[in-house]
Amino acid sequence: MTIPAAPIPFVTLDDPRYGDAVQVAPLIRRVIARNPSKFTYHGTGTYIVGASEPGSEVAVIDPGPTIDSHRNALTAALAGQRVTAILVTHCHSDHSPLAAWLKETTGAPTVAFGPHARSRGWVEDDTPEELDADEKEAKVEESVDFDFTPDVRVADGELAAHGDGWTMLAIHTPGHTSNHTCYLLEDYLLKDQRALFTGDHIMGWSTTVITPPDGDMRDYFASLQRVKDLDPAVLWPTHGAPVTETRPFIDAFVQHRLDREAGVLRAVRDGVTMIPDMVKLLYVGVNEKLYKAAGRSVLAHLIKLIDDGLVAYEGAQPGVTTPYRPL
């Protein structure tokens, strides 16, 4: 028995053009770090918002990992410009670590919802010792930058940055992480070009892993609706190509997650008690090296189903190695 989920019309990014600051839209340039993986696609896309002329005020979104080639590319791209804000969507190690260097170099403040939350009392039962070599590599890509604490904390809807003719608003989108924040670019001259920089909340090439305890599936559903209500003209993810058909794309994401949740509940009701066995039913055709990550999202669905009163668990807390049963 397999339990499929609705497909998502992912968008292909053919050429990452490593090291180049590519003008991808008015007021938007992108520099992609050479850190490709099964979790980052071609790599981390750092965005530079603002005019490209010398002396222009610009904001940088997700400076990325501490890779020398990426640091050098950003140095070249920002030469002669004034960085006024360093915006971070969340604190995974492929997004925020280079913010410290950029702040030291430019004097610009770092801006985010807050640091990564530390979960007290949670016992991690999916330990690194259980991972094979490829999964350990993936674990590094999703590791947390606990050193990052923003200079400026922004709440949902607050001004995060501004420049000549444009503003950036913070859009709090918890789910992938509790502090995850998207940034909405509003161009005074091109009012139909409202662009939302979505970090890992909505990626153009893949679904997002929701990893409890900081990741929360109920929050993720609510945040998808929050983005849909904004009705941006284009989504610019940190990993992958832009999405221009935003509403149907978000609808497909939601339906995919609803199908996954229904599949998890069906599996539990059919007597499948353990997450690894659920993953085999739910993720047919997916590279087995991604099964551990898939299990984290299944756990997030199960926690939501527990809160909904549809599933119970054995033991002190829900976990990857916890048995589950229907209610």
What's the whole-number average pLDDT of the chain? 91
pLDDT of 194-226, one tens digit each?
899 999 999 999 999 999 999 999 999 999 999
Residue entry with tokens 């002396």: 55
| pLDDT tier for residue 149 given thresholds of 50, 70 and 90 | very high
pLDDT of residue 191: 58
- d(CA 93, CA 104) in angstroms, rounded, equals 18
What integer is the mean pLDDT of 89-99?
Answer: 96
pLDDT at 318 over 50: yes
- 46 assigned to some structural domain: yes
Helix (H) or strand (E) holding 171: strand 166-172
Of 140, 153, 133, residue with least CA distance to 85: 153
Among residues 89, 67, 69, 65, the alpha carbon closest in space to that of 77 is found at 69
Asked if residue 57 belongs to a domain, the reply is yes
pLDDT in tens, 44-75: 999 999 999 999 999 999 999 999 999 999 99
Mean pLDDT of all residues in 129-141: 43
In a domain, 119, yes or no: yes
Examine residue 93 and state whether it is found in any structural domain, yes or no.
Answer: yes
Residue 232 lies in a domain: yes
- Cα–Cα distance measured from residue 109 to residue 98, given in angstroms and rounded to the nearest whole number: 13
Average pLDDT over residues 11-30: 91
Q: What are the two backbone dihedrals, phi and then psi, of residue 86, each rounded to the nearest 5 degrees?
A: -115, 105
Q: Taking a C-beta distance cutoff of 8 angstroms, is the pair 29, 47 a contact?
A: yes
Whether residue 301 lies inside any domain: the answer is no
Q: What is the pLDDT of residue 126?
A: 73
Spatial CA neighbour of 199 closest among 186, 189, 190, 209: 209
In a domain, 144, yes or no: yes
- Output the 3-class SS for 54-120: CCCEEEEECCCCCCHHHHHHHHHHCCCCEEEEEECCCCECCCCCCHHHHHHHHCCCEEECCCCCCCC
Q: Is residue 198 part of a domain?
A: yes
Q: How much is the average pLDDT of 143-168? A: 94
pLDDT digits (tens, 9 = 90+) for 279-295: 999 998 888 888 998 99
Domain that holds residue 210: 22-244
Q: How far apart are CA 250 and CA 225, in angstroms?
A: 8
**Per the structure, how many domains does the chain have?**
1
* pLDDT surpasses 70 at 40: yes
Q: Assess whether the previous peptide bond of 276 is cis (omega < 30° from 0).
A: no
Residue 276: strand, helix, or coil: helix
Taking the model in full, what pTM does it have? 0.92
* Residue 290, helix vs strand vs coil: helix
Which residue pairs from 183-186 have beta carbons closer than 8 angstroms and sit at least 24 positions apart in sequence? 183/61, 183/87, 183/89, 184/230, 184/232, 185/27, 185/28, 185/49
Helix (H/G/I), strand (E/B), else coil: 160: strand
Short-list 190, 183, 164, CA closest to 84 = 164
Closest CA to 89 of 304, 236, 300: 236
Query: What is the CATH classification number for the domain harbouring 127?
Result: 3.60.15.10
